[in-house]
Amino acid sequence: MKVLVAIKRVVDYSVHVRIRADGSGVETDNVKMSMNPFDEIALEEAIRLKEQGRATEVIAVSIGNTACQETLRSALAMGADRAILVETAHYLEPLAIAKILTALVIQENISLCLLGKQAIDSDDNMVGQMLAGLLDWPQAMFASKIEFTTENRVRVTREVDKGLTTLDLTLPAVISADLRLNQPRYLSLPNIMKARSKPLAVVPLTTLSIDTTPRTTLIKVSAPDKRRTGMRVATAAELVNKLRAAGVLP
């Protein structure tokens, strides 16, 4: 079973994002970049499947500019066997990403795609579902538990608004990872060294002949209304009085 994990390079979760003065987007120059946390969880799960002897190969794929190679090196250091960067300088919509991944899935003869449920920059939460749709594969999104019951059957528990729901999927399938699926491992120095010699293929997007023309235009990026810092109260009784005065408590 070959497993493909999609990896996105994003502004680190701990960074307070700054909006560019011209409203063209969020400042990414000289900002700490990391692997999208949900993708890290997806990758950890794939590596565990390899360690259990279920996966034969874990392929990390990223789509973006040349700096994504650094993120893919981290993926290799975590334990991916090899990496592919589909290189482009342009912003791509989730549908275009899903189309590129579809082409790679077919080319690489993949049985399981693991993705993060959403990227913490665009917050779209779409690529996995779109990929499953394009491939006509079953999907289990927002997974908090993955358990193989046979060679090609997997039981997935999903986190949903009303609680949890469990599905059985027959491979090939697409699964997206939620926060509580696992705790990704830390990179060790020997593994970081070893990752340097693992294969990382760079494929220019233009060689794939996939139409990735955007179907939307970003008009502007703006800051949300800022909340004013309110007041401190000294006691619970004072708090109740203030809340009654504000009309939010009877």
Near other proteins in 92-151, by CB under 8 A: 93-95, 98, 117-118, 120-134, 136-142, 144
Q: How far is the CB of 150 from other proteins (least distance, A)?
A: 13
Q: How far is the CB of 71 from other proteins (least distance, A)?
A: 18
Is residue 32 near other proteins by the rule CB under 8 A? Answer: no
Burial class (CB in 10 A: 0-12, 13-18, 19+), 230: exposed
Is residue 179 near other proteins by the rule CB under 8 A? Answer: yes
Amino acid identity of residue 23, one-letter, is G
State which of positions 42-61 bind other proteins (CB under 8 A).
none
CB 208 within 8 A of CB 100: yes
Based on CB atoms, which residue is closest to other proteins, 48 or 155? 155
Largest interatomic CA distance in the chain:
68
Two tokens, residue 156: 């997935």
Two tokens, residue 134: 């394009």
Is residue 17 near other proteins by the rule CB under 8 A? Answer: yes
Is residue 231 near other proteins by the rule CB under 8 A? Answer: yes
Least Cα distance to 37 among 64, 55, 69, 15 occurs for: 15
User: What does the per-residue mask of binding to other proteins show for 62-81, with x meaning CB under 8 A?
Assistant: --------------------
Two tokens, residue 119: 């990227």
Which of 21, 89, 189, 219 is in the footprint of other proteins by CB under 8 A? 219
How many amino acids of this chain bind other proteins (CB under 8 A)? 82
Collapsed DSSP state (helix, strand, coil) of residue 177: strand
∠50-54-56 over CA atoms, to 5°? Answer: 60
Which of 107, 170, 188, 206 is in the footprint of other proteins by CB under 8 A? 170
Could you tell me which stretch among 44-52, 76-84, 157-165, 196-204 binds other proteins (CB under 8 A)?
A: 157-165
Amino acid identity of residue 205, one-letter, is L
Q: How far is the CB of 50 from other proteins (least distance, A)?
A: 23
Least Cα distance to 115 among 190, 5, 202 occurs for: 5
Is residue 31 near other proteins by the rule CB under 8 A? Answer: no
